[in-house]
Chains A and B, each alone.
Chain A
Amino acid sequence: MEGTDQISKLPEPILDHILSFLYIKEAAKTSTLSKVWNSAWTSLSCLDFGDNYLHKSKNIVDQILANRLNQKIFIKRFRVNLPNYRSKAVDDWIKVLVTCNIKELFLDVGVYTYNKFPEAIFAAKSLNVLSLRGFKLELPSNGVKFYSLRELHLDDSFLDEQLLQALCAICRDLEVLSFKRFHGLISLQVAGTLSKLRKVKLQFCPPKFKNVDIVAPNVKDLYISSFGLDLHVIEITACKSIKHLKLTAVAVSDQWLEELLPNLLSLEVLYLDHCLSLKIVKISSYRLKLLKVYACYNLVAVDLDDAPSLLRFSFDVHHGKKRLLGYFDTLPIFKLKASQLLEAKIKLIPDPEALDTHWYSKLTESLGNFNNSRAITLSCDYDEMIVIPKDMRENLLPPLYGTKCVHIKIMDRMNYSVKDVVDSLLWISPQLDTLSVDQGRRLNSLIKFTYRDVANEDEKPCCASLPWKCWRHELKKVKLQNFTRTELEKLRNYFLTNTDTLDIIEDPPECSSALHF
């Protein structure tokens, strides 16, 4: 029924739940709505102050906490950003929160302040989630007693081996361990006591951090990234349930990877980023679906023959000079079974000053590895990188003659028109069904190709030297979508001049203002 105040008649726990989706400031405003709402506000159990913290707010937090304490309300969540750290304030708050059976605590004081986090927290029996930034956590004199801890997130914080071992021994319900820009630990050792552990994230390991040794049979997500390229020893073969593995800037060897993968029978996603010790990557993984290999500058070969479930492979191609890293001349050798299901995503990163014949032949060679893939996505900064000079085309074989679907993203267009990009791509893959161009507009520009039915077996191939019918003679219909008026004109002329009889369907061009944000 419209007009009746139904919302105020919802059960109290539901009103409390609705308010828990608001920051404290917004929730407090509802106190003046009506008596029911005032009551819901004063007993609100989720105290999320959001990202804003005003200097004079300490009193407000004190007041709100005191009020909850008086009413003996259990506090489900407490989240505060405290850029001007005051240890007395935090001490008082933790005492109240522990008494109020805090379940989820989020406290951020900015970068590492060397301030010790109140020991009182270790007695928080109901604590499920502890997320801290900028504190020092030390083994408490009374021992670790937050047995219900499920998630520990530490950012810009300090913890040592002793405390970690105590946590592993006592907090048997731990599911998530996430440490970012941490201090203190020089190794991470989890020795099999955490059967519920499902996610481990180690980000920006400090320079002295040397060793990861995790025995956790139920971990599904493991992310390790290192600052100092010093992290050599990673022992994770006992984590047989790993589904997602991401390694950034860790010094793992070819042999390490080759020996690890057959143990990870559930692996579906693997990212290798800045792993400069890798030279020959051999992937043996039955379930692997997605592989990303970026900025592994010393890579010489990638062997994907034994990855039958691979659906997507992303990598980057470098060329020319790279600051501090030398000169990239060679191209990694790719070995893979031509898979009809594979989508290859290739990022082209040549030095813009080195777009020479070497680059274009390297590009062509590189692309050739992925012929017959289901789809190819290319991305590059300048269109020059993908427009192969016409004189070079005469001496090279189109690398993607079997590919039906190409998508290209160009960050900054420079020298050429979209027609020239299309022309180059049609040389690269002469039997396309779909060509999609992301020019940074709301919608991608799309070209769909329809070919003549092969009616006559006796028809001679049109271009004698090529083993396929070329699009110039076989194209029956072209559909153009999401191009500007000028682009449509150029493309129309291009297709009409290059083919015999052709049907061109154009979606009415959107006016330019609609195409650009």
Chain B
Amino acid sequence: MSSTKLLTLKTSDGEEFKLDEAVAVKSQAIKNMVEDDCVSNAIPLPNVDSKTMTKVIEYWKKHSEEGVSKDQLNDFDKGFLEVHHSVLYDLLLAANYLNDKELVDVICQEVADRIKGKTPEEIRKEFDIKNDFTPEEEEKIRQENAWAFD
């Protein structure tokens, strides 16, 4: 039995998650707290709800597993990110708050991939973006960046 320490994380809706310290320190924020020695009680995470935390922990655990090949991890990531964009935002904000650069990058890459190759109309549709330009304003900006649209 290894002597890894267990940390307790408490989410905004009061739920507690117990996690190996070795896994939890994927979050730079948690790592800093561990190093500053303020983790005797549960670590409060007021900006993350339990639903999102569950997903984050799922990601952390998979990426801490031994003997997982690169291909297997890629497959996992693909499935993990195949969610509605609203789920991605919660994940992204949580990863940002927890300061897990790797997870932030992975999610941003996914969002960027969903933007690539689409026309502005298609992007608006994909992400439910509200167009707050007047037709004249929009045309003006399009002219300014005409080179991007050829």
Q: Please list the residues of chain A having a beta carbon within 8 angstroms of any beta carbon in chain B.
A: 1-8, 10-11, 14, 17-22, 24-26, 28-35, 37-38, 41, 57, 60
Assess whether B129 is in contact with A29, with CB atoms less than 8 Å apart: no
A-B contact count (CB 8 A): 95
Cα A253 to Cα B38 with chains together (Å) = 56
A6 in contact with B86 given A14-B92, A32-B120, A38-B141 (CB within 8 Å): yes
B108 and A35 within 8 A (CB): no
* Contact A34 B130, CB 8 Å, known A7-B85, A57-B147: yes
A7 to B133, CA, bound (A): 17
Q: Is the CB of B145 within 8 A of A31?
A: yes
Give the residue name and chain of the B residue nearest to A41 (CB).
B145
B108 cross-chain contacts in A, Cβ below 8 A = 14, 17-18, 20-21
Q: How close is A311's CB to chain B, nearest CB, in angstroms?
A: 14
| Number of chain B interface residues as a range | 35 or more
Also in contact, A37 and B147, with CB within 8 A (given A26-B115, A32-B138) = no
> Which of A31, A33, A57 sits near B129, CB closer than 8 Å?
A33
Given the complex of chains A and B, what is the CA–CA distance between A28 and B128 in angstroms?
19
Please, which residues of chain B bring their CB within 8 A of the CB of A31? 141-142, 144-145, 148
Cβ of A2 and Cβ of B128 under 8 Å apart? Answer: yes
List the A side residues contacting B86 at CB < 8 Å. 1-2, 6
A34 and B131 contact, CB distance less than 8 A: yes
In the complex, 8 of the A-B residue pairs with CB atoms within 8 angstroms, ordered by the A residue number, are A4-B128, A7-B85, A7-B89, A7-B129, A29-B148, A32-B120, A32-B133, A35-B133
Contacts known (A14-B92, A14-B96); A29 close to B145, Cβ less than 8 A: yes
Give the shortest distance, in Å, between A312 (CB) and chain B (any CB). Answer: 15
Query: What 10 new A-B contacts, CB under 8 Å, besides A24-B148, A26-B117?
Result: A6-B89, A10-B92, A14-B104, A18-B112, A22-B112, A29-B148, A29-B149, A30-B115, A33-B131, A37-B129
B134 CB → nearest A CB, Å: 11
Knowing A7-B85, A18-B112, say if A25 contacts B148 (CB, 8 Å).
yes
CB-contacts of B110-139 with A (<8 A): 111-113, 115-117, 119-120, 123-124, 127-133, 138
Task: Give the Cβ gap from B139 to chain A, nearest Cβ, in Å.
Answer: 9
Q: Mark B20-52, 1 if CB is under 8 A from A, else 0.
A: 000000000000000000000000000000000
Residues of B within 8 A of A8 (CB): 129-130
A11 to chain B, nearest CB (A): 8
CB–CB A22/B96 < 8 A: no
Q: Write out the residue numbers on chain A whose beta carbons fall within 8 Å of the beta carbon of B123.
A: 29-30, 33
Question: CB distance A18 to B111 under 8 Å?
Answer: yes
Chain B residues within an 8 Å CB radius of A6 = 85-86, 89, 128
Q: Which of B119, B127, B147 contacts A7 (CB 8 A)?
A: B127
Query: A26 and B116 in contact (CB under 8 A), knowing A2-B84, A34-B129, A34-B131?
Result: yes
Tell me the smallest distance from the CB of A27 to a CB of chain B, in Å. 8
Query: Which chain B residue shows the least CB distance to A24?
Result: B148
A79 to chain B, nearest CB (A): 16
